[in-house]
C-alpha cells in the first residue's frame, strides 16, 4: 500500500496552508497513495495560542478534510485542536475515503518544557485503524520519548504513525527514536514533521521493523511516497515482542507507585 507523507510549510498563513494541503492531497491521490498523512496540528498550525486554536478548531477541520478525502478518494490523517473546557486536546484524526472518522487519538504526553501542559489536556487512550488489511496505530510527537505506548501497539499493529512538530535542533533525536521504537516493537514507524518557518527541517521518514530508514518511492521537497506492508518478521530473526512481560510490568508499576 502506498502512503504519502506531507511535510507542510510552517511559514504559510492559514489560507495558504489549506491551499498547499489541497494540492498535496490531490497529488498524493494521483500517485495512487491510499493514505495521506499530515504533521501535528496540521490544520491550526503548531501553536499554544488559544485564540488560534479556538478559531481553527476540530469541527471546521473535520469538514474540510472529510470533503477533501471524498473528493480524491483517499484516507487522510490530520491534526486539529479539540476544545475541552478552558483547555484543548491535541488530536490526530484519520478520515476514510468516504469522509468518515476511522481513528481519533489525543496526544497522551504534553510537552511541559514548551508549556503544552498549560493549554493542552492529556489524552488517556490509544487508537488504531486498518486499511487494506494493514493495522496502523497513532501517537503524536513527544509521545515518541515514552516507550510504553508503543509496547501497547506492538502485538496489534503493523505500523505506528507519529505526526510531529519536532524542531531542527533536536532532529537527530527524532530519527533515532523513530528507529528505536520500530526495532524494539518490530513494527514500522512513520514520522511526519513540519518543514520551514526557521524552526523545522524536512525530516519525515519511515523506518521498517528492523529499525532501518526506508528509501521513498517518490521523494520531493513537500511530498514523499512510501510503500507500506504488513510486518513480516522472518523466523530466523529475533522478535522481542514475543518475550514482553506485560503482566509483570503492570505489577511492578503498581508496586512502585
The residues, ordered by sequence, that sit 6+ positions from 207 with a Cβ below 8 Å of its Cβ are 178, 179, 182, 183, 188, 189, 191, 213, 214
CATH superfamily, domain at 2-255: Carbon-nitrogen hydrolase (3.60.110.10)
Q: Report yes or no: 159 and 35 within 8 Å, Cβ to Cβ.
A: no
- Over range 132-160, report the average pLDDT: 96
pLDDT over 90 at 191, yes or no: yes
pLDDT over 80 at 234, yes or no: no
Share the mean pLDDT of the chain.
95
pLDDT over 90 at 65, yes or no: yes
Domain boundaries, the chain: 2-255
pLDDT in tens, 81-122: 999 888 999 999 999 999 999 999 999 999 999 999 999 999
Q: What is the pLDDT of residue 41?
A: 98
- Over range 118-147, report the average pLDDT: 97
C-alpha cell at 191: 514520522
Closest to 37 measured CA to CA, from 224, 231, 255:
224
Q: What is the pLDDT of residue 256?
A: 85
Amino acid at each position: 500500500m502506498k502512503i504519502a507523507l506531507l511535510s507542510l510549510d510552517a511559514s504559510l498563513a492559514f489560507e495558504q496552508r489549506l491551499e498547499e494541503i489541497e494540492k498535496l492531497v490531490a497529488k498524493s491521490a494521483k500517485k495512487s497513495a491510499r493514505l495521506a498523512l499530515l504533521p501535528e496540528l496540521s490544520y491550526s498550525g503548531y501553536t499554544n495560542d488559544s485564540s488560534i486554536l479556538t478559531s481553527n478548531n476540530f469541527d471546521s477541520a473535520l469538514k474540510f478534510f472529510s470533503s477533501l478525502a471524498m473528493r480524491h478518494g483517499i484516507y487522510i490523517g490530520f491534526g486539529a485542536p479539540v476544545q475541552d473546557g478552558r483547555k484543548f486536546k491535541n488530536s490526530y484524526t484519520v478520515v476514510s475515503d468516504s469522509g468518515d472518522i476511522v481513528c481519533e487519538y489525543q496526544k497522551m504526553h504534553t510537552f511541559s518544557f514548551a508549556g503544552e501542559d498549560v493549554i493542552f489536556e492529556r489524552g488517556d487512550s490509544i487508537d488504531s485503524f486498518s486499511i487494506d488489511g494493514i493495522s496502523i496505530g497513532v501517537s503524536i510527537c513527544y509521545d515518541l520519548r515514552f516507550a510504553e505506548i508503543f509496547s501497547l501497539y506492538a502485538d496489534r499493529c503493523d505500523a505506528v504513525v507519529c505526526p510531529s512538530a519536532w524542531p531542527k535542533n533536536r532532529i537527530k533525536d527524532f530519527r533515532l527514536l523513530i528507529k528505536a521504537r520500530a526495532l524494539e516493537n518490530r513494527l514500522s514507524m512513520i514520522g511526519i514533521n513540519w518543514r520551514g518557518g526557521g524552526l523545522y527541517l524536512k525530516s519525515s521518514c519511515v523506518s521498517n521493523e528492523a529499525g532501518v530508514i526506508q528509501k521513498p518511492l517518490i521523494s520531493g521537497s513537500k511530498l514523499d511516497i512510501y510503500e507500506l506492508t504488513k510486518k513480516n518478521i522472518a523466523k530466523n530473526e529475533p522478535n522481542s515482542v514475543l518475550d514482553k512481560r506485560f503482566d509483570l510490568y503492570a505489577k511492578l508499576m503498581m508496586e512502585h507507585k
